[in-house]
Amino acid sequence: MFSFTKDQKVLEISGVKIGGQPGMFPTVLFGGLFFKGEPDYKKTKQLLDNMLDLSNKTGNPAIPDFFIKKEEYIDGIIGFIKDVLPKSHPFSIDVIEPSIKIKILEALSENNLLSQTIYNSIHVGVTDEERAALKKYTPEMAILVAFNPKDKSPDGKIEVLENGAHLIDTGLFDVARDVGIKKVLVDTAALAPGDNSGAAIAAIPVIKEEYGLPAGCAIHNVVEKSRWLEDFKQIRKTVDVSSNVNIPLFGGDFAIFGSVENSDMVFPVIAWQDILISEYVENYFGITPDESHPRRKLSK
């Protein structure tokens, strides 16, 4: 449990606050939608409503993370966001294909949704066309993925943020600045087991102490790639869910926890961890939890 000497930035998007000293604000939870197959909007509405209800109960903000893998899905997903997501609620868009990134940015702009958008993500694979689109259609916030294929240690993650590790012409911080994105979250890039996967957790306090920026990751990805867990299928989901407690424990601010279907387990587990951390840091460091904190909502 940490308290950082560097002043910690608190970034806000549509009323959701991310960052600060550990124990100050609840861990923000990103739940993924539309990972597999064609979008099932009826089922997704039920899952989204459940996640938002759990967020209201625990105090942990819920960010729907919309995975968009085909251009033909853009209009439907944009319509879903406008019709189903509460007005002005923040969301993130998770796109791999560069050409689709450009199309979705244009669509978000046309639908006046950029002020609610967390762009997931900017990384060393960013293209010139993507940069131009981000500059033209600038989202409110972006996630910078500190993945350095040459050096997967925390130092390597810092290098890619600061100078691009000579993989691109400039660091990811400069990319965000140059396109006009003023609010950035740092994803410490969880990798496969045996590929220095633990550095994603170890880098969280390093990033926060160095820059004072909100940090987190998708540590569940390591669980998904841990093939030996196939021999323990009855406990695999528990391991997947509980892996996320490492993020707040190491001072992190957000967890990209995978499928929204895991919300029923993730929200109470992270709320419990947030409460545990808050009790300690208030007693030891004098960090008072925000009114939205699970400790305010659940510890009575």
- Give the pLDDT confidence score for residue 38 in this predicted structure: 87
| Residue 243 domain boundaries | 10-298
How far is CA 218 from each of CA 54, 214, 256, 258, 292, rounded to the nearest angstrom? Answer: 20, 14, 5, 7, 23
87: domain CATH number is 3.20.20.20
Bridge pairing between strands 16-19 and 10-13 = antiparallel
Cβ proximity of 33 and 64 under 8 Å: yes
Look at residue 5 and tell me if it is in a domain.
no
Look at residue 277 and tell me if it is in a domain.
yes
Look at residue 2 and tell me if it is in a domain.
no
Look at residue 84 and tell me if it is in a domain.
yes
- Give the pLDDT confidence score for residue 299 in this predicted structure: 80
The tally of domains found in the chain comes to: 1
Measured CA to CA, the distance from residue 177 to residue 95 in angstroms comes to 21
- Give the pLDDT confidence score for residue 35 in this predicted structure: 82
Look at residue 213 and tell me if it is in a domain.
yes
Beta bridge partners of 62: 29
Cβ proximity of 21 and 280 under 8 Å: no
pLDDT mean values, one per 10 residues, the chain (300 residues): 92 98 98 90 96 98 96 96 96 95 97 98 97 98 97 97 96 98 98 93 98 97 92 93 97 97 98 97 96 91
Look at residue 245 and tell me if it is in a domain.
yes
Look at residue 282 and tell me if it is in a domain.
yes
Measured CA to CA, the distance from residue 79 to residue 121 in angstroms comes to 22
Look at residue 3 and tell me if it is in a domain.
no
